[in-house]
Amino acid sequence: MMTQENNYALVFDIGSSGIKLCLGEKMDDALRILSVIKRPIGSEIRRGMVQKSQEVSLLLEDMLNELKASVDFDFEIDNIYVGINAYGMRSLPLQASFELNYERVVDDAVLDELFDEAMSNFNDQDDFDSRHTFVQEYVVDGFRTMNPAGEKPRKIDAYYKVVMGKNQIFRNLEAALDETSLQGKYHLELGVIASAVAVLSKEDKEKGVVVVDFGAETTGICVIKDDVVRHVAILPFGGQNITRDLTQIAGLSLQEAEALKIEKGNALHYTELMMRAKKENGRQLEFNGPDKEVNEIVVARIEEIVDNIWAQIRYAWSTPSTLANGIVITGGASRLRNLVNLLHQKTNLQVRQSSIEPEMAQVFGLMELAKENCISLLERQAEEETFVDEDLFAATEVETQQEEETQASVEPIIETPAATKQKEKREKPRTKNPVGGIKNGGNFFKDLFTSLTDDN
Same-domain pairing of 213 and 314: yes
Classified as helix, coil or strand, 45 is strand
Classified as helix, coil or strand, 35 is strand
Give the Cα-Cα-Cα angle 223, 229, 231 (nearest 5 degrees). Answer: 50
DSSP 392: G
Inside any domain, residue 56: no
pLDDT for 429: 36
CA distance linking residue 321 with residue 319, whole number of Å: 5
pLDDT for 282: 76
CA distance linking residue 259 with residue 171, whole number of Å: 35
CA distance linking residue 243 with residue 265, whole number of Å: 10
Inside any domain, residue 40: no
pLDDT for 30: 86
**Residue 386: pLDDT above 90?**
no
Mean pLDDT of 199-213: 98
**Which of 215, 207, 222 shows the shortest CA–CA distance to 241?**
215
Same-domain pairing of 213 and 350: yes
Sign of CA dihedral 279, 280, 282, 285: negative
Same-domain pairing of 220 and 119: no
Count of domains in the chain?
2
Q: Is pLDDT larger for residue 454 or for residue 142? A: 142
Same-domain pairing of 222 and 160: no
- Classify 432 in phi/psi space as left (phi over 0), alpha (psi -120 to 50) or beta: beta
**Residue 228: pLDDT above 50?**
yes
Inside any domain, residue 377: no
Counting Cβ atoms within 10 Å, is residue 308 exposed (0-12), middle (13-18) or buried (19+)? middle
Inside any domain, residue 455: no
Sign of CA dihedral 42, 43, 45, 49: positive
Q: What is the CATH number of the domain that holds 157?
A: 3.30.1490.110
**Which of 114, 4, 20, 15 shows the shortest CA–CA distance to 364?**
20
Same-domain pairing of 224 and 353: yes
**Residue 185: pLDDT above 80?**
yes
Same-domain pairing of 226 and 160: no
What pLDDT, in 10s, does the model give residues 357-372? Answer: 999 999 999 999 999 9
Instruction: Note down the domain range covering 102.
Output: 90-165
- For the ranges 93-102, 238-247, 327-336, 391-400, the lowest mean pLDDT is seen at 391-400
Mean pLDDT of 195-221: 98
What pLDDT, in 10s, does the model give residues 59-79? Answer: 999 999 999 999 999 999 999
CB of 182 closer than 8 Å to CB of 80? yes
Same-domain pairing of 110 and 243: no
Question: Mean of the per-residue pLDDT values for the chain?
Answer: 85
End-of-domain residue from the set 358, 378, 405:
358
Inside any domain, residue 345: yes
**Residue 401: pLDDT above 50?**
no
**Residue 395: pLDDT above 60?**
no
Mean pLDDT of 213-238: 97
Query: pLDDT band for position 5 (50/70/90)?
Result: low
**Which of 210, 226, 196, 218 shows the shortest CA–CA distance to 366?**
196
Inside any domain, residue 120: yes
pLDDT for 207: 98
Same-domain pairing of 153 and 218: no
* Runs of H (alpha helix) within 138-238: 167-178, 191-199, 202-207
pLDDT for 251: 83
Q: What is the CATH number of the domain that holds 281?
A: 3.30.420.40
- For the ranges 239-253, 323-337, 434-448, the lowest mean pLDDT is seen at 434-448
Inside any domain, residue 153: yes
Question: To the nearest whole percent, how much of the chain has pLDDT over 70?
Answer: 81
CB of 327 closer than 8 Å to CB of 224? no
Same-domain pairing of 137 and 222: no
Please enumerate in sequence order all residues whose Cβ is within 8 A of that of 29, keeping only pairs 6 or more positions apart, or say none. 443, 444, 446, 447
Same-domain pairing of 139 and 244: no
Query: pLDDT band for position 4 (50/70/90)?
Result: very low
**Terminal Cα distance for the chain, rounded:** 39
**Dihedral in degrees, nearest 10, Cα atoms 195, 198, 200, 202:** 130
**Which of 246, 247, 197, 255 shows the shortest CA–CA distance to 224?**
197
End-of-domain residue from the set 358, 373, 404:
358
Mean pLDDT of 398-422: 36
**Which of 373, 448, 305, 358 shows the shortest CA–CA distance to 20?**
358
pLDDT for 438: 52
pLDDT for 236: 97
End-of-domain residue from the set 358, 373, 406:
358
Rg over alpha carbons for the chain, rounded to the nearest Å, is 27
Inside any domain, residue 332: yes
- For the ranges 68-72, 148-152, 267-271, 448-452, the lowest mean pLDDT is seen at 448-452
Same-domain pairing of 145 and 220: no
Same-domain pairing of 245 and 330: yes
**Which of 292, 296, 276 shows the shortest CA–CA distance to 284?**
276
